[in-house]
Amino acid sequence: MENCGGMDLAATLDCGQAFRWQANGAAWHGIVENRSVTARMEGDALILEGASETDRDFWVHYFALDVDYPALLEKFCSGNKRLAECVRWNPGIRVLRQPFFETLCTFIISQNNNIPRIKAIVERLCTGLGQPLEGGGYGFPSAETLAALEPEDLAFLRAGWRAEYLIDAARRVAGGQIDETALRAMPMENARAVLCTIKGVGPKVADCVLLYSLSFWKAFPMDVWMKKAMCQLFPRGVPVSCRGHEGIAQQFIFDYARHHLPSGQKQKSARKMHAKQSSGN
DNA sequence: CTCCAGGGGTTCC
DNA sequence: GGAACCCATGGA
- The answer to whether A266 CB is within 7 Å of strand C is no
* Nucleotides in chain B near protein beta carbons (<7 Å): 4-9
Measured in angstroms, what separates residue A217's CA from nucleotide C5's C1'? Answer: 35
Residue (of A156, A154, A175) closest to A101 by Cα position: A175
Q: Which nucleotide is nearest to A267 (CA to C1')?
A: B4
Measured in angstroms, what separates residue A75's CA from nucleotide C11's C1'? Answer: 41
Position A262 scores a pLDDT of 59
Does residue A257 carry a pLDDT above 90? no
- The answer to whether A111 CB is within 7 Å of strand C is no
- The answer to whether A112 CB is within 7 Å of strand C is yes
Residue (of A154, A159, A150) closest to A119 by Cα position: A159
Q: What is the pTM of this model?
A: 0.90
Q: How confident is the model at residue A201 (pLDDT cuts 50, 70, 90)?
A: very high
Instruction: Convert the pLDDT of each residue in A129-185 to its tens digit.
Output: 999 999 899 999 999 999 999 999 999 999 999 999 999 999 999 999 999 999 999
Measured in angstroms, what separates residue A159's CA from nucleotide B2's C1'? Answer: 22
Catalytic residue (choose from A199, A204, A227, A266) = A204
By DSSP bridging, strand A27-32 and strand A35-42 are antiparallel
Question: Is A204 part of the annotated catalytic residue set?
Answer: yes
Terminal Cα-to-Cα distance of chain A (whole angstroms):
51
- The answer to whether A113 CB is within 7 Å of strand C is yes
Average the pLDDT over A197-217 and give the result.
91
Does residue A46 carry a pLDDT above 60? yes
CA A5 – CA A71 distance, rounded (Å): 9
What structural domains and CATH numbers belong to chain A?
Answer: 1-66 (3.30.310.260)
Give strand pairing partners of A49. A38
Kindly report which listed range (A73-77, A208-212, A250-254) carries the lowest average pLDDT score.
Answer: A250-254
Measured in angstroms, what separates residue A77's CA from nucleotide B8's C1'? Answer: 36
Position A230 scores a pLDDT of 73
Report whether A69 contacts A7 (CB < 8 A).
yes
Does residue A265 carry a pLDDT above 50? no
Q: How confident is the model at residue A220 (pLDDT cuts 50, 70, 90)?
A: low
Position A281 scores a pLDDT of 29
Kindly report which listed range (A40-54, A90-104, A250-264) carries the lowest average pLDDT score.
Answer: A250-264
Look up the protein residue whose alpha carbon has the minimum distance to the C1' of C8. A160
The mean pLDDT value of chain A amounts to 87
Give strand pairing partners of A30. A21, A37
Does residue A266 carry a pLDDT above 90? no
pLDDT more than 90, % of chain A: 65
Report whether A218 contacts A188 (CB < 8 A).
yes
The three-state DSSP-derived secondary structure of chain A is CCCCCCCCHHHHHCCCCCCCEEEECCEEEEEECCEEEEEEEECCEEEEECCCHHHHHHHHHHCCCCCCHHHHHHHHHHHCHHHHHHHHHCCCCCCCCCCHHHHHHHHHHCCCCCHHHHHHHHHHHHHHHCCECCCCCECCCCHHHHHCCCHHHHHHHCCCCHHHHHHHHHHHHHCCCCCHHHHHHCCHHHHHHHHCCCCCCCHHHHHHHHHHCCCCCCCCCCCHHHHHHHHHHCCCCCCHHHCCCHHHHHHHHHHHHHHHCCHHHHHHHHHHHHHHHHHCC
Average the pLDDT over A211-230 and give the result.
69
Residue (of A281, A279, A270) closest to A226 by Cα position: A270
Does residue A271 carry a pLDDT above 60? no
Does residue A264 carry a pLDDT above 60? no
Report the 10 Å Cβ neighbour count for A238.
21
Q: b/e string for A137-147 if b means 16 or more Cβ within 10 A?
A: bbbbbbbeebb
Kindly report which listed range (A51-55, A162-166, A178-182, A258-262) carries the lowest average pLDDT score.
Answer: A258-262
Instruction: List Cβ neighbours of A7 (8 Å cut-off, separation of 6 or more).
Output: A41, A44, A46, A63, A69, A92, A94
The winner for highest mean pLDDT among A34-48, A69-83, A260-274 is A34-48
Position A119 scores a pLDDT of 97
- The answer to whether A237 CB is within 7 Å of strand C is no
Residues across chain A: 281
Does residue A191 carry a pLDDT above 60? yes
Measured in angstroms, what separates residue A85's CA from nucleotide C1's C1'? Answer: 37
Instruction: Convert the pLDDT of each residue in A84-127 to its tens digit.
Output: 888 888 899 999 999 999 999 999 999 999 999 999 999 999 99
